[in-house]
């Protein structure tokens, strides 16, 4: 390892990045766009379910009841219609996800003390939001029913009316149970897995394609110097990108950051080394920029998306799949980042995951260096 030759590679790489509009776009725009796309796109909270209302009675009481749906933030009342046919059409067309129908004898039956059925029609093609819609609907109805009951009991002389049991839940780390808080750290890990691999996936392939490799390998530069010289600038860029993503998470999406900065930086450096080496390896193997960048997307995006615990909790996966997730570096980084952002866990409680990343970093950098041959045959 000769420092001058390493420096020669690194400086050359920096100038190339600086002068290539496309790599600037990858460096700045790609992480920001991915952060925003995933931050807004992958929300697990279902709010504002589009709702149609059909009031067959149109009494003061039925209108009063439906106001509770209008007031709920979980529903977005698109339209109040007059016929059943319009409800069916709206669900068919996808104008609404759910419809609530108040029967024509609503207030009469209530006054007579008879039970009233409120009909809810739900579009079951998206079972997740259908389920949520039904339980939100049930909550609205039962709170209205409870209100009626309390009023009825009070009229009959009962002064103190309170339910005998209640769950007093206290949520830690993510006080408002916003899925954004879980998603954003995951998105940061995923964006960096993709961007990091992508950054280096082009470098070696580009030298082959432009014909500069032949002359480069005829010089005394060693493959270690080539590898480190190419990685060093991207390590800085990757670190910058991760901080950019984290900053977006904290100041744009309002996710807390509860850890010490150095734990975040340490694990970020390790993870970036992992993904950069992976991209470098793919670039050596792929030998052309197109193949290398596509390999990079497949090799990072899918595992990081599916097997890192980002979308599906790892402990809910089948045992065999859980074993496989240990081979996905994003899994460790995802776990560390969630702790870093939400919990502020000290390093001593998650050193296994940091060590896992470090192991991957060492193995992959060696593998990538070895894969490259200073030969053109």
Partner 1 sequence: MKEGESPIAVRGLTKSFPGVRAVDGLTFSVERGEIFGLVGPDGAGKTTTMRMLAGVLTPEAGEVRVAGCDLVKDPEGAKQRVSYMPQRFGLYEELTVDENIRFYARLFQVKGKACEERAARLLAGAGMSEFRGRLAGKLSGGMKQKLGLVCALIHTPEVILLDEPTNGVDPVSRREFWAILYSLLGEGVSILTTTSYLDEAERCHRIALLHEGRLLFCDTPAALKANFAGQVLSIVTGDPRPVASLLEGRPGVGSVMVVGDGLHVVVDDPARVAQLKNELAAAGVTASIEAVAPTVEDLFVEAVRRGKG
Binding site for partner 1 (CB under 8 A): 2, 4-5, 7-8, 11-12, 15-16, 19-20, 210-212, 214-221, 374-377
CB of 323 to partner 1, least distance (A): 41
Q: Give the residue from 43, 303, 74, 313 showing the smallest Cα distance to 181.
A: 43
> Coil, strand, or helix at residue 278?
helix
CB of 9 to partner 1, least distance (A): 8
| Segments of the chain assigned E as strands | 49-55, 75-81, 98-102, 119-122
CB of 26 to partner 1, least distance (A): 16
Q: Which is nearer to partner 1, 83 or 218 (CB)?
A: 218
The Cα angle at residue 180 between residues 174 and 185, in degrees rounded to 5? 85
CB of 11 to partner 1, least distance (A): 7
Cα 173–chain centre separation: 17
Instruction: Compute the distance between CA of residue 296 and CA of residue 199 in angstroms, rounded to an integer.
Output: 9
Q: Kindly state the helix (H) or strand (E) to which residue 362 belongs, with its residue range.
A: helix 351-371
Q: Which is nearer to partner 1, 10 or 99 (CB)?
A: 10
82 CB-side CA count, 13 A: 0
Q: Which is nearer to partner 1, 1 or 162 (CB)?
A: 1
Which residue shows structure tokens 């052309």?
288
Q: Which is nearer to partner 1, 8 or 371 (CB)?
A: 8
Instruction: Compute the distance between CA of residue 227 and CA of residue 244 in angstroms, rounded to an integer.
Output: 25
Contact 304, 189 (CB under 8 A): yes
CB of 213 to partner 1, least distance (A): 8
Q: Which is nearer to partner 1, 229 or 309 (CB)?
A: 229
Q: Which is nearer to partner 1, 213 or 337 (CB)?
A: 213
> Beta-carbon neighbour count of residue 215 at 10 Å?
9
CB of 7 to partner 1, least distance (A): 6
């Amino acid at each position: 390892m000769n420092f001058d030759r390493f420096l020669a590679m690194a400086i050359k790489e920096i100038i190339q990045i600086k002068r290539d509009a496309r790599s600037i776009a990858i460096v700045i725009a790609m992480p920001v766009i991915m952060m925003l796309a995933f931050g807004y796109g992958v929300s697990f909270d279902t709010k504002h379910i589009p709702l149609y209302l059909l009031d067959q009675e149109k009494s003061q009481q039925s209108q009063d009841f439906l106001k509770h749906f209008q007031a709920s933030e979980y529903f977005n009342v698109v339209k109040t219609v007059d016929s059943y046919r319009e409800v069916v059409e709206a669900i068919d067309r996808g104008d609404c996800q759910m419809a609530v129908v108040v029967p024509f004898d609503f207030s009469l039956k209530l006054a007579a003390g008879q039970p009233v059925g409120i009909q809810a029609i739900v579009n079951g093609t998206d079972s997740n939001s259908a389920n949520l819609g039904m339980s939100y609907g049930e909550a609205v109805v039962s709170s209205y029913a409870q209100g009626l009951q309390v009023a009825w009991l009070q009229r009959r002389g009962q002064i103190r009316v309170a339910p005998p049991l209640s769950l007093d839940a206290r949520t830690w780390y993510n006080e408002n149970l916003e899925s954004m808080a879980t998603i954003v750290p995951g998105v940061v890990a995923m964006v960096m897995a993709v961007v990091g691999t992508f950054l280096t996936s082009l470098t070696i392939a580009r030298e082959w394609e432009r014909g500069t490799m032949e002359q480069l390998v005829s010089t005394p530069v060693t493959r270690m110097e080539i590898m480190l010289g190419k990685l060093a600038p991207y390590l800085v860029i990757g670190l910058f990108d991760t901080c950019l993503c984290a900053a977006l998470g904290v100041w744009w999406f309002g996710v807390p950051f509860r850890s010490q900065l150095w734990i975040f930086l340490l694990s970020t450096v390790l993870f970036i080394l992992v993904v950069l080496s992976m991209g470098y390896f793919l670039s050596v193997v792929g030998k052309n920029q197109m193949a290398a960048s596509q390999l990079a997307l497949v090799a990072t995006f899918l595992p990081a998306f599916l097997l890192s615990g980002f979308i599906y909790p790892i402990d809910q996966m089948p045992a065999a799949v859980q074993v496989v997730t240990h081979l996905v570096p994003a899994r460790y980084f995802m776990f560390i980042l969630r702790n870093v952002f939400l919990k502020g866990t000290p390093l001593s409680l998650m050193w296994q995951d940091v060590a896992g990343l470090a192991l991957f970093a060492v193995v992959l950098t060696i593998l990538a260096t070895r894969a490259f041959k200073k030969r053109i045959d």
